[in-house]
Amino acid sequence: MTEYSGPNLLSELSAKLESKRDELSNFFAAERAKLPMPLYASVDIRDAGWKVAAVDANAYPAGFNNVRSSDHPHLSEHLLEWLEQEHPNKTWLHIWPEGHTRNKGYVENLITLQKLFSHGGHKVTVGSPQLNELDEVEGLTGVLNLSNTTANGDLLVLGETPDLVILNNDLSHGPLEGIGGIPVAPPQAMGWFQRRKSNHFRHAQSFIDKVAEILDIDPWLLGTHWFVSEDKCLEQEVCRIKLAVHVDNCLAYLQEKYDQYGIDGKPVLFVKNDSGTYGLGILEVSSGDELLSLSNRKMNKLTYGKGGADAIDFLVQEGVPTALKIDGFVIEPCIYGAGGHSSSTFYRANPKKGVMANLNTPSTKFLQPDDISKMEGGDLILERVDNWHALVAELAMLAMGSELAELTSSVDSHD
């Protein structure tokens, strides 16, 4: 297992970050005003000590059950502020979920969402045609009642039409059909039927560059290096040979960065489905030769997407090791936000994984800030939340707004 060590640049640069708080606040406020900010979002953060980066951003997050209860008022406030601004005077919200009724954690996520949106005095129902055979499903703390939902040209819930659909479904299988003209939030344009991870990071880079300029630091310290393999390249031998060269060139660039900053360790890349979620089919590679010698088993795992859909394009992304380790666990912050603002943080933690490993796995535990605060060294992790972690999370949310503006414009231009 490769070990990584390097300068604690984030701690050294914290004073600079603090001195630029007002300028950064003005920057974010100005950028948010230009963009359609996401209703909600979750952002996975990797903190190497020498750099920090958002490595994934979900437009339809499904882990609200992991948000600590003390954060609920703050998160609910941001959600309701967004609703009042974007969809004023909507009194009946209908949550359209995924079909994971056997996953009690996901059901608990829906129970939590229902509570968060109910704080504004809204009527909040949950259901989809896929779930009409069920009256209720069991979560971790209780039962979620489901409302009969039909979509045959007009959306009807228990025979009437709600004011707004709250989408908690990533639309891997395509947009909702038959719901009529009822508004949907977040907009369906961010569904995985057309959204691409690489497009998110393309949009993020311009914001990263601006913030790096404000802070007078290398933009590489706030993001990941990446490129895209398109058109099922991994299944074509000639294409894979060219791709292997690109992988080696990318790793050589990262090695130069490691040498520049005095980082010990071997850089690696992660190959991910460019369209999709849940951490399915992620492969770690440390050389082009590894791509050329992929076993059939690894190839099948890599090309399998959610719901059995084949992966076509792949994001090849710099791996960022985590320097956050505590009580034998490697730690990855996950920030939940609303309206472009960071609102709550919890942590993925795994005692069986290495510092470079994907932590979006069944064996991972979830820790709250209260848990972290009781552990030796936890104070350093919590200090990062209010500065570097929140910074890159809110950069990711700006990128999501920019994505949405582009995707919506593209959809409108084809109407």
Given a cut of 80, whether residue 102 has pLDDT beyond it is yes
Rounded to whole angstroms, how far apart are CA atoms 182 and 161? Answer: 8
Check pLDDT > 60 for residue 411: no
> What is the arithmetic mean of pLDDT over 232-260?
87
- Which helix (H) or strand (E) segment holds residue 283: the answer is strand 283-285
Which residues contact residue 218 at a Cβ distance below 8 angstroms, ignoring those fewer than 6 apart?
212
Given pLDDT bands bounded at 50, 70 and 90, which one contains residue 231?
Answer: low
pTM: 0.92
pLDDT in tens, 103-131: 999 999 999 999 999 988 999 999 999 99
- What is the percent of the chain where pLDDT is above 90? 71
pLDDT band of 386, cuts 50, 70, 90: confident
Q: Quick: pLDDT tens for 258-307.
A: 999 999 999 999 988 888 655 456 788 999 998 888 776 776 666 655 55
6, 3, 1, 2: which is closest to 258 by C-alpha?
Answer: 6
> CA 327, 11, 330 angle in degrees (round to 5)?
25
pLDDT at 31 over 90: yes
| Sign of the four-CA dihedral 112, 28, 278, 356 | negative
pLDDT at 29 (0 to 100): 97
Count of CB atoms situated within 10 Å of the CB of 39? 23
Q: How far apart are CA 240 and CA 232, in angstroms?
A: 10
- Indicate the pLDDT class of residue 415, thresholds 50, 70 and 90: very low
| Token pair for 229 | 């393999």
> Bigger pLDDT: 149 or 102?
149
Answer whether 206's CB lies under 8 Å from 212's CB: no
What does the pLDDT read at residue 197?
Answer: 93
Domain spans in the chain, listed from the N-terminal domain onward: 9-62+195-407, 65-193
Out of 225-229, 247-251, 293-297, the most confident range is 247-251
For residue 386, give the DSSP letter: I
Mean pLDDT for 20-42 is 97
Q: Which of 217, 233, 377, 408 is CA-nearest to residue 316?
A: 233
- Reduce the DSSP state of residue 221 to 3 states and report it: helix
Topology at the third CATH level for domain 65-193:
Rossmann fold (3.40.50)
Nearest to 366 by CA among 170, 141, 111, 105: 105
pLDDT, residue 199, reads: 95
Please report the pLDDT score of residue 412 as a whole number. Answer: 40
**What is the sign of the dihedral through the CA atoms of 149, 155, 157 and 159?**
negative
**pLDDT for residue 292:** 84
Taking the alpha carbons of 346, 350, 356, 360 in that order, is the dihedral positive or negative? negative
Torsion sign over Cα 357, 359, 362, 366: positive
- Rounded CA-CA distance 359/372 in Å is 17
What residues form DSSP beta bridges with 145? 136
Q: If you write DSSP's letter for every residue of 127-143 in order, what string do you get?
A: --GGGTT-SEEE-SSSE
